[in-house]
Structure 1
Amino acid sequence: MNNEKSNNPISIRSRQMIIQSLLKIMEEKPYQKISIKEITDAAGLVRKTFYRNFLSKEEVLYEYIGELMQEADKEFEALESLTPYSMSYQYFKFWYEHVHFLKLIHKNDLFIILLNQLQDYAPTVFVKFKADLMNNFDDTFLTYYTEFHSAGIWHMLEKWIDSGTKETPEQLAKIYSDITLNNPHLKS
């Protein structure tokens, strides 16, 4: 991906216009059939501006998901309690607020992009929010721990979208917390 993004206000605005244009076009047309020209035309920009900011359509989605992850990070920072329930509740509540985007990428078989971003993002979450709990473990354990939880919570999110988003963020957090704490929620 193009790691050196300009912080120039014009460049930032162009990137936002490109992101919003791609998302809007994806509402009507499959992602695979969308051209760069369509995106730039919808954004009122030239192709050169697209390639000055992005290498591909996929990179546009990565940047948007990265922005969402930064937004989620701020919400995690506001948590008073860092339990499996509170953290997963915050996670599912956040994605509930962005469920339209999740459905859009799922419909276009792009849900894996979210996992890729989550795997990049998760280690920083564990360092920031679980640092005191994780001090006694070696790097190998922490690597696999992060991968396991990233994939697990991502699969839960995907299953939630597949099943029509019937469960509330509270219900999903309870399930995740019970799994994490090895405390299955039994039928009454």
Structure 2
Amino acid sequence: MGEATGKLSLRSQEWIQTALFQLMEKKPYSLISITEIADKAGLARQTVYRNFQDKDEILLNYLTRLMSGVWKHIDGGQPYTEAMFVLLFRTWKDNIPPSLILNIKGQDRKIRQLIFRSICDCHDELFIGGSRGEGGTKSDIYRLYGQKSFSALLHMMLIEWTLQEFHLSPEEIGKVVSELSASMRKFL
């Protein structure tokens, strides 16, 4: 019974996510309601709320899975290599839904905030072990600022590269990010 319920929940989550992206093709993210998402998915609002706290969680779930999918290829190695940056940008370009690109180009601030949050959350969890450096040593504090600066750089480059319609190849933008982030990575 539990396995069937889990599969049903996963299917509902996929429908909800698909409905959100379909709605984003015609309407800015910030103007979409849970009721519209539920109607588009053919589900009751209660089903949406059983699976997600709000619409931000729907999008954040997608973005976090996308980011985590990149970082899981590290296999215990150095996470800040040029090859990892290339993989990040290639994965972004190959997997970002067109409706999300539309909303980025529409300058929806909420979209940008959620992208930044997904980068920070993945970075915190996978590379810092959830530690945020508050109240720690001077080295911990520098690490915190280095991490936030690094996350901000990745966010800004993903957004700008998207706005510029991926004018550089993933290899080129990965190299740029690797070079720009070299001093920040010393603190990580």
Q: Deviations for 1:70-111, whole angstroms, at most 9, x for unmatched residues?
A: 32233333x976553122111111112124355144135112
Q: Deviations for 1:141-187, whole angstroms, at most 9, x for unmatched residues?
A: 221111111101111111111222111111101111222336xxxxx
The amino acid across from 1:61 in the alignment is L
Q: CA deviation at 1:41?
A: 1.6
| Moved beyond 4 Å, runs of 4+ | 79-83
**Alignment pair present for 1:54 and 2:55:** no
Return closer, same or farther for 1:120/1:82 CA change in 2, 3 Å cut-off.
closer
- Which of the numbers 35, 39, 42 marks the counterpart of 2:40? 42
Q: How does 1:53-92 map to 2 (within 5 A)?
A: 53-77=51-75, 82-92=79-89
Q: CA deviation at 1:139?
A: 1.7
Return closer, same or farther for 1:32/1:153 CA change in 2, 3 Å cut-off.
closer
RMSD (CA atoms): 2.4
Share of identical aligned residues, percent? 31
Please give the secondary structure, in 1, of the residue aligned with 2:124.
Answer: helix
User: 1:27 matched to which residue of 2?
Assistant: 25
User: 1:177 matched to which residue of 2?
Assistant: 178
User: 2:91 matched to which residue of 1?
Assistant: 94
Q: How does 1:120-139 map to 2 (within 5 A)?
A: 120-127=121-128, 138-139=139-140
Q: CA deviation at 1:121?
A: 1.1
Distance 2:171 2:53 in 1: 39
User: 1:14 matched to which residue of 2?
Assistant: 12
Listed as ranges, the gaps of 5+ residues in structure 2 are 130-137, 184-188
Q: CA deviation at 1:120?
A: 1.2
- Length-normalised TM-score, structure 2: 0.77
Return closer, same or farther for 1:154/1:63 CA change in 2, 3 Å cut-off.
same
- How many aligned positions are there? 167
- Length-normalised TM-score, structure 1: 0.77
The amino acid across from 1:123 in the alignment is D
User: 1:154 matched to which residue of 2?
Assistant: 155
